[in-house]
Amino acid sequence: MGLLIFSQLALTCKDQVATEKYYTKYFGFKRARVAVLPDGSQIIFLKMMDSAFYLELFQATEESKLPAPTNDGIQYPGVRQIGFKVDDVDAKLAEMGDDAKITLGPLTFDDFIPGWKTVWISDPDDNIVEISQGFTDEDNPPKLEG
């Protein structure tokens, strides 16, 4: 297989500016490009610093017909959450202050992975964002069967 990089996640935003400010201020993204489309709308490309990963921000053109997700994300097929690893969940929450709209947690998962702690928050568009510390890979995870 040739080049394969997980490169982007597209978000449809209530307010592109508010969403851009949120992810640049708290999660290390910076504006990389703005593409103006023929209808005058734009796509804002935010690049995560020191990576090849982008958020693409699109302006919403209609209201959601679904309720905003709660807790740790949606329970039906779709993107459940956006996740970020940090050194210290509590420090990240303190940094974010009132912008950290907690939907669940913080919770510890020491019974599964010692040191694993997670909190879920809501971004300006009601997407669930997971912030966690201490997650580690399993040495020998079970093989995929079937």
pLDDT in tens, 24-50: 999 999 999 999 999 999 999 999 998
Over residues 99-118, the mean pLDDT reads 95
Position 5, amino acid: I
Topology alike, domains 1-62 and 79-139: yes
In which residue are the tokens 């809501």 written?
A: 122
Percentage of the chain lying above the pLDDT 90 cut: 84
Instruction: Report domain extents, the chain.
Output: 1-62, 79-139
What would be the CATH architecture of the domain defined by 1-62?
Answer: Roll (3.10)
CA dist., res. 95 & res. 63, Å (int): 31
Note the pLDDT of residue 31: 97
Cα–Cα–Cα angle for 93, 22, 137, rounded to 5 degrees = 55
CA distance 8 to 53: 5
pLDDT given at position 146: 80
Q: Which CATH class name applies to 79-139?
A: alpha beta
Comparison of pLDDT for 106 and 78, the residue scoring more:
106
Does 52 have pLDDT greater than 80?
yes
pLDDT at 2 exceeding the cut of 80? yes
Q: Is the pLDDT of residue 1 over 80?
A: no
State yes or no: pLDDT of 83 exceeds 90: yes
DSSP string, the chain: -------EEEEEES-HHHHHHHHHHHH-EEEEEEEE-TTS-EEEEEEETTSS-EEEEEE--S--SSPPP-TTS-SSSS---EEEE-S-HHHHHHHHGGG-EEEEEEEE-TTTSTT-EEEEEE-TTS-EEEEEE-----SSPPPP--
Other CB atoms within 10 A of residue 57 CB: 24
Q: Are 95 and 116 in contact (CB under 8 A)?
A: no
Could you read off the pLDDT of 92-108 as tens digits, one per residue?
A: 999 999 999 999 999 99
What does the angle CA 5 – CA 6 – CA 11 come to, to the nearest 5 degrees?
145
